[in-house]
Amino acid sequence: MASLKQVAELAGVSLMTVSRALNNPEKLSAKTYKHVKKAIDELNYVPNFSAKNIRGSTGKTIGVLSLGTATTPFSVEIILAIEKTVRQHGWHSFVINTFEDDKQEMEQAAERLLSYRPAGIIVARNGLKEVKIPQKLRNIPMVLSNCVTNDVDVASYIPNDFQGQFDLTELLVKKGYKKPLCMYIPEDAIAAKERKNGFEKAWFNQLSPQIPEQHFMIGTPHTYENGAKPLEKLLENNSKKLDFDIIVCGNDRIAFLTYQLLLSRGFRIPEDVAVVGYDNMVGVTHLFQPSLTTVQLPHYEMGKQAALHFIEGRNSIGENLITCPLIIGQSC
Amino acid sequence: MASLKQVAELAGVSLMTVSRALNNPEKLSAKTYKHVKKAIDELNYVPNFSAKNIRGSTGKTIGVLSLGTATTPFSVEIILAIEKTVRQHGWHSFVINTFEDDKQEMEQAAERLLSYRPAGIIVARNGLKEVKIPQKLRNIPMVLSNCVTNDVDVASYIPNDFQGQFDLTELLVKKGYKKPLCMYIPEDAIAAKERKNGFEKAWFNQLSPQIPEQHFMIGTPHTYENGAKPLEKLLENNSKKLDFDIIVCGNDRIAFLTYQLLLSRGFRIPEDVAVVGYDNMVGVTHLFQPSLTTVQLPHYEMGKQAALHFIEGRNSIGENLITCPLIIGQSC
DNA sequence: CTGTTAGCGCATTCAT
DNA sequence: ATGAATGCGCTAACAG
């Protein structure tokens, strides 16, 4: 690979002239620029990032600590958004993937992160959760994307789960549904509480008397393989007539299970019972038949805003709630 | 961030002693090592990657050009495997995500890749396909993961789709299925041909006479939203009795559409008709009810082998077929 | 407008 | 066993 020096030699000029041709072309006379440019193209010269970066770390590199991306790959969009955003502003980014439960891995990840001397670090997570920040990272400028922490005072960009569920529920009320069955995600999830509040706030506003007792239920944790179990039990008791007209699923995976369960028992969606989800999983949710009404987790926006936090030099601290847009389908 | 120099000053030794403490501790006396180590810990010193990399590029850094990851995020595993593998061997990697259809982006991606002066480049893709290699990258050592190319002579690590579909089909024959309905992925996909061959080879081996004419069909491209249309048409004509006992889906997304279609028409899986898929999409496939029998795309292994290609200094060229393991569920 | 000097953080080489 | 000198590719600061 060619270096500045080689380009300079080929062009018969000094190092600095080539450097300027690359970074401040306006400081060169038109003809020397043209001359140097020719040499650059001829040698296929590309600046050496490491060499640039070594000098006083210009502060245009962002390190990304990506946690648990493997288990739910729907959050790649966060990473993609970061990369695209920094690129647009002439910054750089690099990603370290790891898993939070492995403490040793976390330590190593922190070291690798620091070895790039980033101006700041974005900690991103596949699903909203509280994260522990490695000790070594606590002195570096940091911002959180799709996670929160108690270890340091930082800004975080997280989904507005309350608003998302609220908007969805308002739609349901407007459409005239009266008897909801809610299968929330596990209680310990941060999003669970917000969404539950969002639902109840929107629902009680209009329909406080009509809430059936069983409207509130909890799905099972982690893999969600048993996410529709509550529904299954209800169907066992009364397999013909449903005691609810709308099933509010804690996420699209629960909705996925719910669809199969309902369809296999001969219920039509939405004629016999409507279904809504949450997440809008890229690559999957658009395959629901009928198309699923759901709420989109703003992965892209969370990544973008986290990146802009550094690029624009924002100094804020605390939670920034990102709107979750409604995705309207045929399932309600 | 502390530098070698600062550590040296704190420890009252020269730069080199600190450098050796990090890279060749055995060359130091036990007591100076201990002394220096203390200073290193005290300052939370982490070596500067750029500074290391600047010197003659030791050749332990791999650049990854990841194509189209956003559209089907199931391939994160490739990236993860690469990162994990290089790390285990003391190498480094960095990833540039881009989209092949944007030619300008590809050029820029190539430049950014080169700016890190990698010892080699892995080109990875979300789905198996032929890729164009940017001109600037054609002189760098390269290996392909889940893609192939005609532009350069390189090694590629791709799924053995023939073997995968062959093994699956053998299982079906063994189980006694007689009348298959195949809904392949679009013909222009490389995998389509291999899988079709795999199916036919395994099926004709045993059951050549009994192949019904309609066993061969093609799904629709890209989003797969219409992937089960052929089945839908068949059901319109004859909605009561099925003329097939096993539906072979080109991938798990088609299988999901098929599930919904069958269940909504009152057919039971696998009692009335069995279903099998292909891909084993991480985070999704395990939610099928009943659990889906499918074939796993070896994303992790493709990434790992591509990384090892450089790490072990393999010199081979051409296609390396990675086994696709059978995932046996309750759907057949 | 262009060139020279110096130094970023580190490891290779050679000395002690 | 430890240190000093040198240079990797590049740019900020100064000189001309």
> Tokens in use for A298?
């703003």
| Chain B residue at shortest CA distance from A63 | B94
CB burial of A231-246 (b: ≥16 within 10 Å; e: otherwise) equals beebbeeeeeebebbb
The secondary element (H helix, E strand) that includes residue B33 is helix B30-42
* pLDDT given at position A239: 65
- Strand segments, DSSP code E, in B133-286 are 142-145, 155-159, 180-184, 216-218, 246-249, 274-276
| Chain A residue at shortest CA distance from B90 | A112
* pLDDT given at position B173: 93
Q: Does the CB of B25 sit below 7 A from strand C?
A: no
List the nucleotides on chain D closer than 7 A to a protein CB: 1-5, 7-13
Q: Find chain A residues with C-beta within 8 A of B284's C-beta.
A: 253, 256, 281, 284
Could you say which residues 32-51 of protein chain A have a Cβ atom less than 7 A away from any atom in strand C?
32-33
pLDDT tens-place string over residues B217-247: 666 555 567 788 888 888 887 667 888 899 9
* pLDDT given at position A203: 87
> Tokens in use for B179?
């009348």
* Interchain contact, A257 vs B73, CB within 8 Å: no
Q: Find chain B residues with C-beta within 8 A of A97's C-beta.
A: 79-80, 83
Chain mean pLDDT for chain A: 90
* pLDDT given at position B94: 94
Mean pLDDT of A127-156: 95
For residue A303, give every residue at least 6 positions away whose Cβ sits within 8 Å of its Cβ, in sequence order, or none: A77, A78, A79, A80, A81, A82, A85, A122, A124, A145
Classify residue B183 as exposed, middle or buried by CB count within 10 Å of its CB (0-12, 13-18, 19+): buried
Nearest Cα residue to A246 out of A223, A214, A289: A214
Mean pLDDT of A298-310: 97
* pLDDT given at position A94: 94
| Chain B residue at shortest CA distance from A223 | B283
Q: What pTM, to 2 d.p., does this model score? A: 0.93
C-alpha radius of gyration, chain A, whole number:
26
pLDDT at A10 over 70: yes
Q: Does the CB of B15 sit below 7 A from strand C?
A: yes
pLDDT values of chain B reduced to their tens digit, one per residue, 332 residues: 899 999 999 999 999 999 999 999 888 888 899 999 999 999 999 999 999 888 866 678 999 999 987 777 777 899 999 999 999 999 999 999 998 888 888 999 999 999 999 999 999 999 999 999 999 999 899 999 999 999 999 999 999 999 999 999 999 999 999 889 999 888 888 999 999 999 989 988 776 655 656 666 666 555 567 788 888 888 887 667 888 899 999 999 999 999 999 999 999 999 999 999 999 998 889 999 999 999 999 999 999 999 999 999 999 999 999 999 999 999 99
**How big, in percent rounded to 5, are the helix, strand and coil portions of chain A?**
45, 15, 40
* Interchain contact, A83 vs B73, CB within 8 Å: no
For residue A122, give every residue at least 6 positions away whose Cβ sits within 8 Å of its Cβ, in sequence order, or none: A62, A63, A64, A65, A82, A142, A143, A144, A145, A303, A306, A307, A310
Binning pLDDT at 50, 70 and 90, where does residue A237 land?
confident
Distance between B105 CA and the closest CA of chain A, angstroms? 11
- Cα A84 to chain centroid distance, Å, stands at 14
pLDDT tens-place string over residues A194-233: 999 999 899 887 766 556 566 666 665 555 777 888 888 8
How far apart are alpha carbons A36 and A19 in whole angstroms? 10
* pLDDT given at position A219: 62
How far apart are alpha carbons B17 and B28 in whole angstroms? 8
* Interchain contact, B46 vs A136, CB within 8 Å: yes
The secondary element (H helix, E strand) that includes residue B37 is helix B30-42
* Interchain contact, B49 vs A259, CB within 8 Å: no
Distance between B207 CA and the closest CA of chain A, angstroms? 32
Binning pLDDT at 50, 70 and 90, where does residue A171 land?
very high
Q: Round to a whole number and report the distance in Å from the CA of B162 to the C1' of D8.
A: 49
* Interchain contact, A97 vs B117, CB within 8 Å: no
pLDDT at A133 over 70: yes
Distance between B277 CA and the closest CA of chain A, angstroms? 15
| Neighbour count for residue B152 (Cβ, 10 Å) | 13
* pLDDT given at position A211: 60
Print the SS3 string covering B107-163: HHHHHHHHHCCCCEEEEEECCCCECCCCHHHCCCCEEEECCECCCCCCEEEEECHHH
Q: Round to a whole number and report the distance in Å from the CA of A16 to the C1' of C1.
A: 12
Sheet holding A180-184, edge to edge: A216-218, A180-184, A246-249, A274-276
* Interchain contact, B111 vs A46, CB within 8 Å: yes
Distance between A47 CA and the closest CA of chain B, angstroms? 6
With tokens 């593998």, the residue in question is B85
Nearest Cα residue to A71 out of A297, A184, A224: A224
Binning pLDDT at 50, 70 and 90, where does residue A58 land?
low
* Interchain contact, B50 vs A49, CB within 8 Å: yes
> Tokens in use for B99?
């989209």
Mean pLDDT of A283-295: 94
Nucleotide nearest to B16 (CA to C1'): D3
How far apart are alpha carbons A147 and A156 in whole angstroms? 7
